[in-house]
Amino acid sequence: MMLDPQARALLDLIEKAAVPPVWQQTPAEAREAYRERRTFTQEPPPPDLATLPLSAPGPHGPIPMRAYRPRDALPSTALPVLVYFHGGGWTIGDLDTHDVLCRQLSRESGCAVVSVDYRMGPEFRYPAAVDDCWAATRWIAAHGADLGMDSERLAVGGDSAGGNLAAVISLMARDGAGIPETRSASTTIPSIRFQLLIYPATEMLAETASMTTNGEGYLLTSRAMAWFMRQYMGEDQPREVIKGWMASPLCARSHAGLAPALILTAGFDPLRDEGRQYADRLSAAGTPAQYVCFERQIHGFVTMTRVIDEARTAVSLCASALRRALGA
């Protein structure tokens, strides 16, 4: 299979610029590099969206969020809502690195989007990110009506590490599994209507073929994934924790009764196989799941609409699936 020429050109530019791999940087350096890269690979933010800063209480403190709403939506209309968790290996990324993508999804789907700035490793290790994403989703479910959102039509989504978190939150919502009430901002258990999982990490100790065949030379490497997982999980987590469903949703005992899902992967991504395996696991359990692999693409391409044309196709596909699933 041939690598997409635009993806190839991007990889060549990165190599020519001698950008250090993430595992040779400190988390702070990696975060800054990720923020700076977006100005080259992302389009200007679409202006036809209204944004609103939000904050949800959580077990580790306030959780910053940013809400998006198409400006042409009537103020009296309660829009379906996507709660979105950004990618970045549970270590890098923030509201700004995924601002353009969230704007694009909101504009094209007609849904409100709420982006969650969850806590990350190594400062806040597992399960802090899960705690924050669960608390934020529950808060939106409880208070969405006050913000012009229809909490009965609620989806969760994310890319890469954010896809991992979205899958975990869907499992928690199905089971009513919550943070103990003394640590939680709300007793509301959200009813998830749809999962949007973009090249999700689904198994922490992935030993898939794609982790080997795509493990070097395609932006995200297997060595980088090992670094990210160390930042998130630490060095001394027992295997039963690493393989537990809150870290590795592929390892959940059951995938039945979950919200319908769209799982999108990239052919030259180390995470390709675990994304496909998750789609297969959902389907085998009777959960409606659509699986689409952009065979010639690399990990992270969906946010690169300035330099990769297929990224626009992928965003439109995701927005269309949201629109159908939530009745936007």
> Under the phi-then-psi rule, with left for phi > 0, alpha for psi from -120 to 50, and beta for the rest, what region is 300?
left
Q: Domain boundaries in the chain?
A: 5-326
Calculate the CA 101 to chain-centre distance: 11
Strands (E), the chain: 49-56, 63-70, 79-85, 112-116, 149-159, 192-198, 261-266, 289-294
The mean pLDDT of 208-212, rounded to a whole number, is: 97
Q: Is residue 184's pLDDT more than 90? A: no
State which amino acid sits at residue 178. Answer: G
The mean pLDDT of 161-175, rounded to a whole number, is: 98
In 218-307, where does DSSP find H-type helix? Answer: 222-233, 239-242, 272-284
- A 10 A CB-CB count for 40 gives 12
Tens digit of pLDDT for each residue in 238-253? 999 999 999 999 999 9
Pull the structure tokens for residue 50: 């209204």
pTM, two decimals, is: 0.96
Give the Cα separation of 199 and 301 in Å (integer). Answer: 10
The catalytic residue positions are 160, 269, 299
Pull the structure tokens for residue 194: 């749809």
Average pLDDT of the chain, as a whole number: 95
pLDDT value at position 186?
54
Phi first, then psi: what are they for 109, rounded to 5°? Answer: -90, -25
Distance in Å from the first CA to the final CA of the chain: 37
Give the Cα separation of 217 and 295 in Å (integer). Answer: 16
Q: Is residue 141's pLDDT more than 90? A: yes
The mean pLDDT of 141-165, rounded to a whole number, is: 97
Provide CATH code, domain 5-326: 3.40.50.1820
